[in-house]
Amino acid sequence: MPKIKINNLEVRADEGTTILQAAKEHNFKIPTLCYYPDLDIKSDCRVCVVESVGQEKLVTACSTPIYEGMEIKINSPRAQNARKAIIEMILANHDANCTACVRNTNCELQNLSDHLGIVHNRFETIYEKKPNDTSSPSLIRNHSRCIKCGRCIDACKTIQDISVLEFSGRSHEVEVGPAYHKDLADVFCTYCGQCSTVCPVGAIMEKSDVEKVWQAIDDSSKHVVVQVAPAIRVSLGEELGMQLGSIVTGKVVAALKMLGFTKVFDTNFTADLTIIEEGHELIHRLKNGGKTPLITSCCPGWVRYAEHKFPDLLENLSSCKSPQQMFGALAKTYYAQRESIDPKDIYVVSIMPCTAKKYEAIRPEMSVNGEDPDVDAVLTTRELAKMIKQIGVDFDNLREQKFDKPDEVTSGAAAIFGATGGVMEAALRTVKEVVEEKPLEKLDFDTVRGYEGIREAEVEIKGETLKVAVAHTLANAKKLAQDIRDGKSPYAFIEVMACPGGCVGGGGQPYGTTREKQRDRIHSIYQVDRLMKIRKSHDNAAVSNLYSSYLGDPSGELAHKLLHTKYTKRS
């Protein structure tokens, strides 16, 4: 292990690590900007420059490896000055109207400026105010705030293998965006939002529904109900200052009540319903020689991707709506009828870890009356955190509350929808037990858990082997889809989530989400599952009751009308 010196402190660091990593090991935080833990090292911005004694030029800590005897000065006046000058130059070309920005108090540029002690800028302001791109239903691009760090480009390229974002132009006319300076809605963007979670400033963010929701809550003629997705309960706490991976299910319910929602429901209920419908679909396809592999369809980023890039595989997609949309459809039919409320007066809000869910909600087929959307507004984890801050709730100290009755019963199988592999495991628990007609010996399907980009497993069901696979990120999904297209796919059932780690790593999750944080959240999600009384979707009595009192048979006529959907070839 090489010995090095950091700011006169002698330390040891692993061979081959960068200055940045070695410094971090020893609790020195070197400022960075273009660097992002999960993405390629670009070493473009030069914010991380430090002095390496004996070397004439300053070196970039994010990309320079250490060597035996290296002496690093992080804070020599020369290094500090260089860093300051870079940040000042960036600020001169940035719409730094901080108080009117979503990232105010949560912005990497603002933090850097503060930490480097920048109190005035030696450079003249040169940025030009450009109009925002508001074309997408999910995201807004603010060109005047973009500091051209390239992180979003990398996320779109390396995580998703989509590459709709790129640099264009040169020198001071460099821009970041789609080809030909087009808007996001005019190119093939999946609205996954991965670009927004890595942006250091307020240059890509969700299209906010916060105002809309406040208005609905204030409108006394509206009956405003809200549903909470499985991944929210393990990520919202962290956005509100709690520990990473904190499980805050009951606090979310309490906070939503304080915000003024009339009823607070759990999307996990319709996640259980999804498993019943999708499980039936799988069994049916296997028995009757239907199209396989069956591929999950709860992720709207993936659905949009498939419609554009694999239109020939749309029959493989499960016809089940996502839990969000099953909830919306039931809220405006079953629930309206049960509570004797005119469906027109019901306003459905969902809390999602996802930006693509905003797009899913406005898909024309997601409307039971053919006019109004079943889900009226979608808030990301980040937007909900903002609303909670707006009313000044002391979130950490809230007394836990339960979801509203009678549909508060949910299973552990539904809870794990938020993690990659979760939908697969939930489906296997039900399909195996239902087909074999005897209780499962083991509930946990460990082989489909984990973080590998593509995982495969073989499951014995009634003497037959079922081959299944799980993929997260669209780059990985593409590989499995290509195999199906080439007739080489050995699987019967595939789960796809567009975001890394599954919904826990969704594009609407807290800014700065990394693999490490996704893992913490996944860990908490399995914890939620373990603590549930019911762990299999088909054991959920509230779901069975819904079938017997309203829907009829799983996959039956009404179930089909309300809970299933169609896809459109888009290329």
Partner 1 sequence: MELEKVLERFPKEQTYLIEILLDYQKSKPTQHLTENELKEVANYLDVPESHVFSVVSFYSFFSMEPRGKYIIQYCRDVPCHISDLINVKETLETLLDIKTGETTEDQLFTLEYSSCLGQCDGAPAIRINDKIYRNLTKNKLQMVLAEYRGDHHA
- 321 carries an active-site annotation: no
Q: CB nearer to ligand SF4: give 146 or 213.
A: 146
Is the CB of residue 423 less than 8 Å from the CB of residue 296?
A: yes
- Please choose which of ligand FES, partner 1, ligand SF4, none residue 167 contacts, taking the beta carbon within 5 to 8 angstroms, the exact cut-off set by kind: partner 1
What are the angstrom distances between the C-alpha of 392 and each of 217, 225, 255, 258, 388?
17, 21, 10, 10, 6
Give just the sign of the alpha carbon dihedral 381, 382, 388, 394: positive
Q: CB nearer to partner 1: give 163 or 208.
A: 163
- 278 carries an active-site annotation: yes
Q: CB nearer to ligand FES: give 44 or 71.
A: 44
- 360 carries an active-site annotation: yes
- 408 carries an active-site annotation: no
Pairwise CA distance, residues 536 & 425, whole Å = 10
CA-based nearest residue to 295, from 560, 555, 495: 495
Q: Phi-psi category of 446—alpha, beta or left, where left has phi over 0 and alpha has psi -120 to 50?
A: alpha
- 320 carries an active-site annotation: no
Is the CB of residue 224 less than 8 Å from the CB of residue 351?
A: no
- Please choose which of ligand SF4, partner 1, ligand FES, none residue 189 contacts, taking the beta carbon within 5 to 8 angstroms, the exact cut-off set by kind: ligand SF4
Prior bond to 293 cis, omega within 30?
Answer: yes
How many distinct helices (H) and strands (E) make up the chain?
20, 17
Name the active-site residue from 278, 383, 433, 495: 278
List the end-to-end C-alpha distance of the chain, in Å, as a whole number. 55
- Please choose which of ligand FES, partner 1, ligand SF4, none residue 32 contacts, taking the beta carbon within 5 to 8 angstroms, the exact cut-off set by kind: ligand FES
Size of the site for ligand SF4 (CB under 6 A): 28
- 503 carries an active-site annotation: yes
Q: CB nearer to ligand FES: give 43 or 322.
A: 43
Q: Does position 192 bind ligand SF4 by CB under 6 A?
A: yes
Q: CB nearer to ligand FES: give 46 or 182.
A: 46
Name the active-site residue from 175, 365, 458, 460: 365
- 458 carries an active-site annotation: no
Buried b (16+ CB within 10 A) or exposed e, 427-450: bbbbbbbebeeeeeeebebebbbe
Which residues ranging from 20 to 59 are in contact with ligand FES (CB under 6 A)? 32-35, 43-48
For the bound state, the minimum distance from the C-beta of residue 363 to ligand SF4, rounded and expressed in Å, comes to 16
Kindly provide the residue ranges of all beta strands, DSSP E only, lying in 65-186, ordered along the sequence.
Answer: 71-73, 139-141, 166-168, 175-177
CA 26 to mean position of chain CA atoms: 31
Kindly provide the residue ranges of all beta strands, DSSP E only, lying in 107-222, ordered along the sequence.
Answer: 139-141, 166-168, 175-177, 204-206
For the bound state, the minimum distance from the C-beta of residue 195 to partner 1, rounded and expressed in Å, comes to 13
Which residues ranging from 140 to 159 are in contact with ligand SF4 (CB under 6 A)? 146-152, 155-156
Q: Does position 64 bind ligand FES by CB under 6 A?
A: no
Which parts of this chain interact with ligand SF4 (CB under 6 A)? 139, 146-152, 155-156, 160, 162, 164-165, 176, 189-195, 198-201, 203-204
The residues annotated with a catalytic role in the active site are: 278, 281, 298, 318, 357, 360, 365, 503
